[in-house]
Chain A
Amino acid sequence: MRATLSRDIVLGAIPLILIAAVWQAIVSFGYAPAALLPPPGAVFVRLVHQLGGTDFLAQGGATLLRLFVGFTIAAVLGIGIGLMAAVHRGVDAVVRPLVRVLAPVPKVALYPALLLLLGFDHASKIALVVADALFPILLSTYYGATTIEQKLVWSALAAGTPPHQVLYKVVLPAAMPSILTGCRIALVISCIVVFLAEMISSTDGLGYLLVRAARSFQTVDMFVPLISISLLGLILNALLYGARKVLLRGFPEV
Chain B
Amino acid sequence: MSAVAGDGTATARIGISIAPFAPLLACLGLLAAWQIGALLLGTDSIPTALDALRAVPDILGDRSGLANILDSIRRMAIGLASAVVVSIPLGLAMGRVPAVASFFNPILMVTYPVPKAALMPVIMLWLGVGDLSKTLVIFLAVTLPIIYHSFEGAKAVEEKMIWSGAAMGMSRLQIMARIVLPAALPEILAGCRTGLVLALITMVTSEMIARKSGAGNILFNALDMGQYDTVFAMIIIIGALGIIFDAAFDRLRRALVAWSDTRQDIPLSFS
A residues sitting closer than 8 Å to B (CB atoms) are 4, 7-8, 11-16, 19, 36-37, 86-89, 92-93, 96-110, 112-113, 115-117, 132-133, 135-136, 139-140, 142-143, 145-150, 153, 157, 163-164, 166-167, 170-171, 185-186, 188-189, 191-193, 195-196, 199-200, 207, 210-211, 214, 217, 219, 222-223, 225-226, 229-230, 232-234, 237
Contacts and interface: CB of A to CB of B under 8 A. Distances in A.
Contacts, number: 223
Interface size class of B (residues with CB under 8 A): 35 or more
A108 B122 contact: no
Contact of B113 (A92, A98, A225, A232): A232
19 contacts: A89-B7, A98-B26, A100-B266, A104-B245, A105-B242, A109-B219, A109-B234, A112-B223, A133-B270, A147-B263, A148-B4, A148-B5, A189-B270, A196-B117, A217-B125, A226-B122, A230-B110, A230-B111, A233-B112
Nearest to A35: B125
Interface stretch (B54-62, B83-91, B101-109, B161-169): B101-109
A176 to B, nearest CB: 15
A157 B270 contact: no
Contacts of A170: 4
A150 B264 contact: no
Given A110-B235, A116-B46, A157 B2 contact: yes
Contacts of A106: 197, 200-201, 204, 238-239, 242
B25 interface: yes
Question: Secondary structure at chain B's binding surface: helix, strand, loop or mixed?
Answer: helix
Nearest to B44: A116
Nearest to B222: A112
A101 B117 contact: no
B32 to A, nearest CB: 13
Contact of A15 (B106, B118, B125, B201): B106
A245 to B, nearest CB: 17
Given A13-B106, A191-B115, 9 more contacts: A12-B107, A36-B126, A98-B29, A101-B26, A105-B243, A106-B200, A148-B4, A210-B118, A219-B125
Contact of B270 (A14, A135, A226): A135
Given A116-B46, A143-B264, A199-B209, A14 B5 contact: no
Interface stretch (B8-16, B170-178, B179-187): B8-16
A72 B22 CA distance: 30
A163 B102 contact: no
Interface string B205-248: 10011000000100110010000100110110011001101110
B271 A193 contact: yes
B269 interface: yes
B256 interface: no
B252 interface: no
A16 B110 contact: yes
A149 B223 CA distance: 50
Contact of B15 (A96, A148, A171): A96
B130 interface: no
Contact of B205 (A14, A98, A108): A108
B45 interface: yes
